[in-house]
Amino acid sequence: MARYPSAEPKKWKDQNGDSLKDLLEKEQLVGGWRRMINEYRRFHMKFTRNYFLRFLAILFISASFSGCGKKPKQTADHFMSLLVAGKHLEVQEMLGKDMKSMAGMLGGVSNESLKPYFRAGTFKSYALTEQEKTDKSVRYRVDAITSDGNRYSDFIDLIREDGDWKISRF
């Protein structure tokens, strides 16, 4: 005894009694469906490809503006602004390998280890002037102005380490 009242599945028929297969053959919808599916696939592939190419372009542009592509003037300016703000830990992160190890021996970058005119609270403003430049290093003259109005001149050197500009001397 069958569990269901009818063991044979019902076939779909429209109001005229035609089955779906008959309708597809009559109206030649098989080719239409195939065309529609193929057009969808082509559109989807083109759509996906366009967005993938846009994503790659954005990724390339953002990589070119990241720290790897940073110019030495921007790095030096950022370094000096951190000194003015007294952010010594961030200053220490911008140092090159040799300079970082030397700063580590002195107890890190702090007001005590800095020249008097670079100390937080006394260092007011600065101006950078490029003095020398090679492919892997740049030297800037720093004209520092302290809060009491005194002017000092010094140099900072930048070197390229692992694709980034780092401070090698200040």
Confidence tier at 122 by pLDDT (50, 70, 90): confident
Strand 164-169 with 151-161, pairing: antiparallel
The pLDDT assigned to 111 comes to: 75
Q: Which of 132, 143, 136, 129 minimizes the C-alpha distance to 164?
A: 136
- Residues 6 or more apart from 140 whose CB is under 8 A from it? 73, 76, 128, 129, 130, 131, 155, 156, 157, 158
Q: Which of 5-9, 13-17, 110-114 has the least mean pLDDT?
A: 5-9
Q: Quote the pTM value.
A: 0.56
- Interval 89-102 mean pLDDT: 86
Give the HSE-up count for residue 21: Cα atoms under 13 Å, Cβ half-sphere: 1
- Interval 135-157 mean pLDDT: 90
149, two tokens: 């109005």
The percentage of residues in the chain with a pLDDT greater than 70, rounded to a whole number, is 68
The percentage of residues in the chain with a pLDDT greater than 90, rounded to a whole number, is 16
108, two tokens: 């890190």
